[in-house]
Amino acid sequence: MIETRTLSLAEIEDLSFRALVAAGTSEENARPLAVATAATEADGVASHGLAYIPIYCEHVQCGKVDGLAQPVLAQPRPGVVTVDAATGFAHSAIEAGFDALIPAARAQGIAALAIRNSYNCGVLGYHTYRLAQAGLVGLGFTNAPASIAPSGGAKPVVGTNPFSIAAPGTDGQPALLIDQSASTIAKSEVMKHAREGRPIPVGWALDEEGNPTTDPNVGLKGSMAPSGGYKGVGIALLTEVLAAALTGATLGIHASPFSGTVGGPPKTGQFFIAIDANATANDAFSTGIVDLVEAIRSQEGAHLPGDGRRAKRLAAKSDGVAVNVATLNKIEALLT
Amino acid sequence: MIETRTLSLAEIEDLSFRALVAAGTSEENARPLAVATAATEADGVASHGLAYIPIYCEHVQCGKVDGLAQPVLAQPRPGVVTVDAATGFAHSAIEAGFDALIPAARAQGIAALAIRNSYNCGVLGYHTYRLAQAGLVGLGFTNAPASIAPSGGAKPVVGTNPFSIAAPGTDGQPALLIDQSASTIAKSEVMKHAREGRPIPVGWALDEEGNPTTDPNVGLKGSMAPSGGYKGVGIALLTEVLAAALTGATLGIHASPFSGTVGGPPKTGQFFIAIDANATANDAFSTGIVDLVEAIRSQEGAHLPGDGRRAKRLAAKSDGVAVNVATLNKIEALLT
């Protein structure tokens, strides 16, 4: 039984903010990360919420991320915004980038945001969600240190590289939000099994020769299994081309680890595309999305990607979130 | 042993062109489809090459596609081109659209092409290939009649919906070309097994209750299995949102079949995004792509998506393509 305490979203944001600032993060950089942490807890993705705050603080202190970084923004073409995150947090780079991306997408019909010299952006769907809240179709891509091997090979060349799409709805929430990685399972699950000394199911990870393994430690030295075989590799490559090559960020094969304190800043990238459906769809977008969503919701037992997070998000607004007390104690220790 | 005859690419294009025109297609509409047919044979994708010409001709004659259609182009915003294909061939709509999309992408840094009232676009990677030849990163999405069920459901709501990405290379060929559908296997493979009375492997298709089946006829009445389970559904939904909802095209749940002669025009859609890497990547794009490709090619046994097609394409230029004589006879019969 895990002991929990219920916090409001404002309390979660405030606690995160104070811990990040205490660790040496500027207020400008701490705020968007604290807001995202509260939203991530609201969505029920506890693995990427408050549990990450002690890691972020440690990374500011060891120099894996520069808490005082000032993102540098440029708009080299009417439809393209670039941000050099200057080895700071991805969240402040994205915050600055979206302020320019959203009006550009409305004016041009479509616009892109390319971020380099960045860091782990947390839950990717949080960011595309914000584009949908602005009334735009949001696509997001983020790269990571290599952990998936190419088809026919055994040495990792791409990360578990998620993509996300969020489509605006008519009720203030996205009509649909997809956020999925290219691997069968999240790498953090394999790490958890390794810590707990438990075997992993066949199909999660491969050894250094590319053979299936049930030993999580062997899998962590080998590679993560791509979802659906070569098609998962295709998704990871799509994301690597957009989030790394197309942003000028560090490829997964060269990036330092997101976890631990060694190797300096990972300098990975994020790529976002925002599209104004009013420009592309001749006013038919909402009807189409509602029709598609209804065809899924009307089937007994069927569900849309993002439905789980959506239900938790709506409940958390009024009820707050039950947070692991051990995590809270760890964060409060950082404040004293 | 299948009897073949070797034709040059010019001969394949000419034969396709004459058959399409003889069936009642305008020269303007026949040319881009004939060029694509030759390129598809060059890539070794015989299933979508000359073998499709008799079907296209039949579809012109039964009214599933309007051979005389005139695509209507608009550019409602600087970065968005829309084309109403007017129930004509997708290829002429894409041809017209690319003529506006390519300069828009260079000027804006990113641009989109939304096509509605369209038809089956053949091999999607052929079109993104052309964007890469123009020096742009090309993304493509196309929807199809519903054949994949949502997670937890059993009734199809999305098609096998491929996406494609092509990245420009330094040697005149794309550095990388991905073109993959959302299902474990192409639906045409299940149809082929049904015609030949052979069972299909478990994992290709599901029955009307969503259970695995080895009977291809049961699978065709049920649904196609998504690649990687719910993640394959996510890819199909990504594509449906972009190629159908965002273009104002007909959703897969409402589209008439691509095969056979009943149901009238499918009126499906295509969505393309073209990105100028010079705008987004601060001159680092080529270095990144070369580095990524090399990390894959240098591994023994590893291969890149598109490598097979690339090798065949280069050989076909000088050697021509060995074409099934039965297919040639069928097409020549249409010309007399």
DSSP B105: H
Residue of higher predicted confidence among B186 and B294:
B294
State in Å, rounded, how far the first CA of chain A is from the last one. 28
User: Out of 3.40.50.1700, 3.50.50.60, 3.40.640.10, 3.30.1370.60, which CATH number does the structure's domain B4-183+226-305+316-333 have?
Assistant: 3.30.1370.60
Runs of H (alpha helix) within chain A: 9-22, 27-42, 53-62, 90-108, 124-133, 187-196, 216-221, 230-240, 277-280, 285-297, 307-319, 325-334
pLDDT at residue number B135 = 97
pLDDT of A77: 98
Whole-angstrom Cα distance, residue A134 to residue A129?
A: 9
Name the residue facing A302 among B150, B289, B301 (closest C-beta).
Answer: B150
ipTM of the complex: 0.97
Task: Give the model confidence (pLDDT) of B101-134 as tens digits.
Answer: 999 999 999 999 999 999 999 999 999 999 999 9
For residues A111-125, one letter each, b for 16 or more C-beta atoms within 10 angstroms of the residue's C-beta and e for the rest, the string is: bbbbbbbbbbbbbbb
Domain B4-183+226-305+316-333 and domain B184-225, same fold? Reply is no
pLDDT at A67: 98
What pLDDT was estimated at residue A149?
Answer: 97
Q: What is the pLDDT of residue B48?
A: 92
Q: What is the arithmetic mean of pLDDT over A261-287?
A: 96
> Residue B160 in 3-state DSSP?
coil
- pLDDT cut 70: percent of chain A above it: 100
Record the tokens describing residue A222, joined without a space: 């080998």
Chain B residue at shortest CA distance from A306: B234
Residue whose token pair is 């393209």: A80
Contact at CB, A299 and B80, closer than 8 angstroms: no
Amino acid identity, position B197: G
Residue at B276: amino acid letter: D
- pLDDT at residue A22 above 90? yes
Taking only the tens place, the pLDDT of each residue in B32-70 is 999 999 999 999 998 899 999 999 999 999 999 999 999
Task: Please enumerate in sequence order all residues whose Cβ is within 8 A of that of A103, keeping only pairs 6 or more positions apart, or say none.
Answer: none
B169: closest CA of chain A, how far (Å) = 12
Q: In the prediction, which pLDDT does B186 show?
A: 87
Say whether A281 and B178 touch across the interface (CB within 8 A). no
Decide if domain B184-225 falls under CATH 3.40.50.2300: no
Cα separation values, A323 from A11, A56, A117, A174, Å:
11, 18, 32, 25
pLDDT of residue A29: 98
Q: Is the per-residue pLDDT at B1 higher than 80?
A: no
Q: What is the mean pLDDT of residues B280-305?
A: 94
Residue type, position B285, single letter = F
Give the pLDDT confidence score for residue A282 in this predicted structure.
79
pLDDT tier, A186 (very low <50, low <70, confident <90, very high otherwise):
confident
What pLDDT, on a 0 to 100 scale, did the predictor assign at position B110?
98
Q: Are B50 and B16 in contact (CB under 8 A)?
A: yes
Q: State the nearest Cα–Cα gap between B242 and chain A, in angstroms.
A: 9
Q: Is residue A14 pLDDT above 80, yes or no? A: yes
**Contact check, Cβ <8 Å, A79/B80:** no
Which helix or strand (DSSP H or E) is residue B74 part of?
A: strand B72-77
Distance from CA of A43 to the nearest CA of B (A): 19
Are A21 and A27 in contact by the 8 Å Cβ rule? The answer is: yes
Model pLDDT, residue A88: 98
Task: Take residue B210 and report the two structure tokens written for it.
Answer: 């969503």
Contacts of B285 in chain A (CB under 8 A): 245-246, 248
Rounded to the nearest integer, the mean pLDDT of chain B is 96
* C-alpha to C-alpha distances, B273 to A238, A274, B104, B138, nearest whole angstrom: 13, 11, 11, 6
The mean pLDDT value for B158-185 works out to: 94
Q: List the domain boundaries for chain A.
A: 4-183+226-305+316-333, 184-225
Contact present, A147 and A187 (Cβ < 8 Å): yes
Q: What is the mean pLDDT of residues B273-300?
A: 96
Band of residue B174 on the pLDDT scale cut at 50, 70, 90: very high
What pLDDT, in 10s, does the model give residues A90-129? 999 999 999 999 999 999 999 999 999 999 999 999 999 9
CA-wise closest residue to A178 among A132, A134, A233: A132
